[in-house]
A and B are shown apart, each in its own frame.
Chain A
Amino acid sequence: MSGEENQRRLRVNPTLCTGFGYCAEIVPELISLDDWGYPIVDQSPIESDNLNQHAKRAVAACPRLALLLEEMSKAAR
């Protein structure tokens, strides 16, 4: 389990995303695709280190740089 301070979650910038869909192949646990091929992202904090690694890979693989990992502390609303 990752510590409290570096809790992160996946976010997609929908204005950049054009629906390549690589992310959903890399982390299907957190990302599925809608009927038009755009990602539906689970925005809850990522609990396991393993998933965190996959999420990082998905972020790096996005050709549009539309996927990002958000630090949960910054997301305080």
Chain B
Amino acid sequence: MAGPSPTGGFERIDDHQRRLGVRPAGGEWLLDVLGQSGLRGRGGAWFPTARKWSAVAEHSDGHAVVVVNGSEGEPLSAKDRVLLTLRPHLVLDGAVLAAETLRADDIVIYLSRAATTTERTVQQALKERARAGLPEPAIRIEKCAHRYIAGESSAVINRVSGGLAKPRFTLGRSAEKGVNDQPTLVQNAETIAHVALIARYGTEWYRRLGTESCPGTGLMTLRGNVKRPGVYEVDLGATVGGVLAATGGTVTPPAGALLGGYFGSWFAPHSLRDLPLDADRLRKEHKASFGCGILAVLPEGGCAIVESTRILTYLAAETAGQCGPCVNGLAALSETMERIAASQPETGDYERVLRWMDMVKGRGACHHPDGAVGQLASALTVFKEHLNTHLSGVRCRGTQVQGFPRPPSPGDGWK
């Protein structure tokens, strides 16, 4: 995915085509190639891309919809915006390949309203493609409110269908009935960019890096207590320790790290060195996920209980307000955890937190409550010993430590 750093903005269509060659036409062959490549979705779920595509292809009668999800509501992530502002044509190539393969006649680039530079770049890139007379269907941009869950796939479908960017409850599948009831592919922008490369260079090339179950490279956003924060393309066969070493290491000795973003998991400092990025190993060995490729490192003296509570409070405010267990449960958890984080717990607070974490799981229309609670649960488990100081009322100096990114203010509106 990497290449020369384009000076003065994004990689122009001429440079893009000179560097990578003209893209092949999409078609059924690409389903097989994607299957062999082992490419998995980079929005956070790491679902096999070929399986997702096949389900849409099965239901498509020529009016399917391809939505490239670049909304990136995760505050710790910057990879999709960076990708789209540096190499928009790679993503757009992938979108057209998807449309050709899935017989889609509507291609949508889904962006957050807050990402104005990204939108401008994509618009310019689309103009370039039109001027170059590339044989491809029209591609349109659809914008959503900058909210944490506006990029959840059912929220994307609601928004692109003309509604609010809120998740919806459905027993069906979007591959069959998505945008305006048409078969729909909602795919993260980075995943789509990988497709554009795999279609050109093939499976063997793609599998040169990564692992058997998670081949290739991935975009990773490094944040917090690291010498050189930013977006990197990393070998998925790497470890967290390896990535940190290759990028200049941490500023102060780490006190822990959050892997995968606000729906991710916390890790103790000693476990970081050998921690894999491979989705299957993370799930099996750590019940964790690389999510959308985030590593946020906690600085020396920082407190995961405090940071985890800040994230929980942000996520509680980011509820779409549709489901009782999410609205009530996250608010109650946040209020209680704020007391614990401040080392001023009331009797029974910790037991209530445990009870509510279990109570809200799996009971929303989307996974917002599950993700929020998973993040909190991992902090409480991994930093159990330190949690006890909070519960016994000993003041924690971690509340004053800077260097771990604070959550932003909650978003506004849902359009």
Contact = CB atoms under 8 A, between A and B. Distances in A.
Interface of A: 11, 13-19, 34-38, 40, 70, 74-75
Nearest to B360: A34
30 contacts: A11-B171, A14-B322, A14-B325, A14-B363, A14-B364, A14-B365, A15-B168, A15-B322, A15-B323, A16-B169, A17-B323, A17-B324, A18-B324, A34-B325, A34-B328, A34-B329, A34-B359, A34-B360, A34-B363, A35-B355, A36-B325, A36-B328, A36-B329, A36-B332, A37-B324, A38-B325, A38-B363, A40-B359, A40-B363, A75-B171
A35 B359 contact: yes
Nearest to A70: B171
Contacts of B323: 14-15, 17
Contacts of A37: 324
Interface residues of B toward A: which range?
Answer: 10 to 19
A36 B365 contact: no
Given A34-B325, A34-B328, 10 more contacts: A14-B364, A15-B365, A34-B329, A34-B363, A35-B328, A35-B332, A36-B332, A38-B328, A38-B363, A74-B171
Contacts, number: 50
Interface string B357-384: 0011001110000000000000000000
Nearest to A17: B324
Contacts of A74: 171
B356 interface: yes
A14 B360 CA distance: 11
Contacts of A11: 171
Nearest to B326: A14
Nearest to A41: B363
Nearest to A75: B171
A36 B323 CA distance: 12
A37 B168 CA distance: 21
A14 B328 CA distance: 12
Contacts of B329: 34, 36
Contact of B169 (A15, A18, A36, A38): A15
Nearest to B364: A14
A19 B318 CA distance: 21
Contacts of B325: 14, 34, 36, 38
Contacts of A16: 169
A8 B167 CA distance: 25
A36 B171 contact: no
B171 A35 contact: no
A38 B324 contact: yes
The winner among B325, B326, B359 for most chain A CB atoms within 10 A is B325
A70 B329 CA distance: 26
Contacts of A75: 171
Interface in B266-313: none
Contacts of A17: 323-324
The winner among B169, B322, B332 for most chain A CB atoms within 10 A is B169
Interface string B303-344: 000000000000000000011111011001000000000000
B332 A19 contact: no
Contacts of A34: 324-325, 328-329, 359-360, 363
A15 B326 CA distance: 10
Nearest to B323: A14
